[in-house]
Structure 1
Amino acid sequence: MERILITPRSLSKGGHPALALLEAAGYSLAMPAPGAIPDEAALIAALPGCVGWLAGVEPVSERVLEAADRLRVISRNGTGVDNLPLRAIEDRGIELRRAEGTNARGVAELALALTLAGLRQIVWTHEGMRKGEWPRQIGREMCEATIGIVGLGAIGATLAQLCLDLGAKVRGYDPFANAERVVHSNFTRVDLEEAITGVDAISLHAPMPEDGRPLITAARLAAMAPATVLVNTARAGLVDAGALLAALDSGRVACYATDVFETEPPAPSPLLGHPKVVLTSHIGGFTDASVERSTVRAVANLLDALARDAH
């Protein structure tokens, strides 16, 4: 019986109905790290003999792929592929499928929640009250705010519409998105510098630049309006961590809210321990609806690729 590797944390405990479709199609399922992210050794041990891989966010090295002696397709139960060695996958002739757009609503709603938390200083106020204090800092309303969105893919475009529905003005940057991606009288397509300067909040929804350097550099942080809220549900490397720490200390950035980290779980650091930083544990797409949509699409993609490959 041919095997399929299952590694997303939301699925590797088993029991999801969509996984039964794989078994009904005659495949056995390998789950090397139930409910957790498998490490390199676990992946290397589990991959031999697998023809398909339903993959999550686990880091995958070229060394891991060397153990993939029969692998024909990798199906991501999400959109991002930064964790995968794309060139090595292509060189080995392995098909890569993505569940595009399936978690867009979940991530966009979290980005909106983090933006609101920053504009109203919700976490800072909560922490002060837990200490017996009575902290009060004047907030900003969305209907009076200008929001800069970097990246207008499925997630960024969904967030733009949510912000527009709340009365905000939105500036969107994306050199590749269709001109009709977001259409609204309060929406403007701008270049990157305009998207991040003179706005109340910025939300990042872009891939890493090809050179691997941060998109939000020290110079760009310095050009932001005082007390900008910066939200990152995309990739930790998009922001220069050292420069961001200085911007938080100076008040240039009023709040940095992030759902993404270089390693997960992250090690303690001065940035992550900063009182103006709001942290969530990569939960953007971790909603009932998003997980369901992603899983159903990823399984369908996997079965389709394997069926076509069999012919």
Structure 2
Amino acid sequence: MTGKIAVTPRSLSGAGHPALSLLTKRGYELVFPAPGKTPSEDDLLRAVPGCVGWLAGVEPIGARVLRASEGLRVISRNGVGVDNIDLPVAAAQGVRVERAMGANARGVAELAVTLMLSAFRHVPWSDARLHGGDWQRRLGIEAEGRTLGIVGCGAIGRQVAEIALALGMKVVGYDPFPLAGFAPDGFRYAPLAEVLAVADAVTLHCPPGAEPILNAASLATMKRGVTVINTARAELVEDTAMLAALDSGQVGVLATDVFHAEPPAPSALLAHDRVILTPHAGGFTEESVDRATRTAVENILKVLEG
């Protein structure tokens, strides 16, 4: 089998990965539209047309690129989210969209808990001040006995719950399609409004909808000083409302791994001293990259070669 396959995730297009050799050994030519960075639409329009497969990251994959890519048979994500892909146009073009289900769940779950604990103890703030020669402390809180609210109890959310329970936390989760078999001691499902109202920290693990989950109205119902962790999608949070909530103290700390554009433009929200930032690193672990890449490659071969 021959043909071109585009590779666009930053973790793969810059450094490569041994699993990509499964494609080249079968005669496929790998194309890297923007090595080491997120490709623009122009990058994709130059590189993807003529490809039969696409190992894709989180870059927007819109109608213009899809309609220009005649002969493309499969887009294989190295993750779970496909909200960056115009799925109706992909279907109309006959392009299969495959996902690496659960491949990066552990990495994202561990980062979410890391961000929560860092927020509880103000680790980034303390580190920055000590590096600047300024000896200051902020009073922290302990995880044990606190309530963690999880919005989205899929593979990632369930692993977050298990880690939080091991820390001695109480966990309440919301999911529109709850898994009845998931019922560890200390965990319960609840309506979204209740999850937001009772939690000392809320972590987001769901796809975006038509409106942000955290807006001025919903933020006002949460505990004063709540910690918010977002390793899912930036669209889940209304930025203006979040900035106001941080300024007023309604939100104690926002920790986010996701942004509207990557890298993000400077903003008052991102510059706030109660905001913790990581560069979309949730699935960027050795183990998660290995699992996600191998699964994505296998999904391409499954479609192209049956």
TM tier relative to shorter chain = over 0.9
Write the letter of the residue equivalent to 1:222.
A
Q: Which residue of 2 is the match for residue 280 of structure 1?
A: 278
Query: Residue 145 and residue 80 in structure 1: after superposition, are their counterparts in 2 closer, same or farther (change >3 A)?
Result: same
**Which secondary structure does the structure 2 equivalent of 1:256 belong to?**
strand
What are the within-5 Å matches in structure 2 for residues 40-55 of structure 1? 40-55=41-56
Q: Which residue of 2 is the match for residue 148 of structure 1?
A: 149
**Which secondary structure does the structure 1 equivalent of 2:223 belong to?**
coil
Gaps of 5+ in 2: none
**Which secondary structure does the structure 2 equivalent of 1:215 belong to?**
coil
1:198 deviates by 2.6
1:299 deviates by 0.3
1:276, 1:300 → 2: CA distance? 42
**Which secondary structure does the structure 1 equivalent of 2:198 belong to?**
coil
Q: Which residue of 2 is the match for residue 192 of structure 1?
A: 192
- Assess if the C-alpha contact under 8 Å between 2:178 and 2:189 holds in 1: no
Q: Which residue of 2 is the match for residue 257 of structure 1?
A: 255
Q: Which residue of 2 is the match for residue 271 of structure 1?
A: 269
What are the within-5 Å matches in structure 2 for residues 42-121 of structure 1? 42-121=43-122
1:31 deviates by 1.1
**Which secondary structure does the structure 1 equivalent of 2:203 belong to?**
strand
1:132 deviates by 3.0
Q: Which residue of 2 is the match for residue 27 of structure 1?
A: 28
**Which secondary structure does the structure 2 equivalent of 1:292 belong to?**
helix
1:14, 1:226 → 2: CA distance? 44
1:118 deviates by 1.0
**Which secondary structure does the structure 2 equivalent of 1:20 belong to?**
helix
Write the letter of the residue equivalent to 2:38.
I
Query: Residue 224 and residue 84 in structure 1: after superposition, are their counterparts in 2 closer, same or farther (change >3 A)?
Result: same
Query: Residue 186 and residue 255 in structure 1: after superposition, are their counterparts in 2 closer, same or farther (change >3 A)?
Result: same
Write the letter of the residue equivalent to 2:302.
D
Q: Which residue of 1 is the match for residue 3 of structure 2?
A: 2
What are the within-5 Å matches in structure 2 for residues 229-268 of structure 1? 229-268=227-266
Count residues with an aligned counterpart: 305
1:185, 1:23 → 2: CA distance? 48
**Which secondary structure does the structure 2 equivalent of 1:11 belong to?**
helix
* Deviations 1:242-269 (CA, angstroms, capped at 9, x unpaired): 1111110111111000000000000001
Write the letter of the residue equivalent to 2:34.
A
1:14, 1:189 → 2: CA distance? 41
1:279, 1:13 → 2: CA distance? 22
Which stretch of the first structure deviates more once superposed, 267-276 or 6-15?
6-15
Which stretch of the first structure deviates more once superposed, 158-167 or 24-33?
24-33
1:179 deviates by 1.4
* Deviations 1:265-294 (CA, angstroms, capped at 9, x unpaired): 000011001110000000000000000000
- Assess if the C-alpha contact under 8 Å between 2:106 and 2:159 holds in 1: yes
Alpha carbon RMSD of aligned pairs, Å? Answer: 1.2
Gaps of 5+ in 1: none
1:10 deviates by 1.4
Write the letter of the residue equivalent to 1:292.
D
1:273, 1:14 → 2: CA distance? 30
| Matching of residue 302 in structure 1 with residue 295 in structure 2 | no
Query: Residue 43 and residue 189 in structure 1: after superposition, are their counterparts in 2 closer, same or farther (change >3 A)?
Result: same
1:14, 1:246 → 2: CA distance? 40
Q: Which residue of 1 is the match for residue 287 of structure 2?
A: 289
2:28, 2:133 → 1: CA distance? 57
1:14 deviates by 5.8
What is the TM-score with the length of structure 1 in the denominator? 0.95
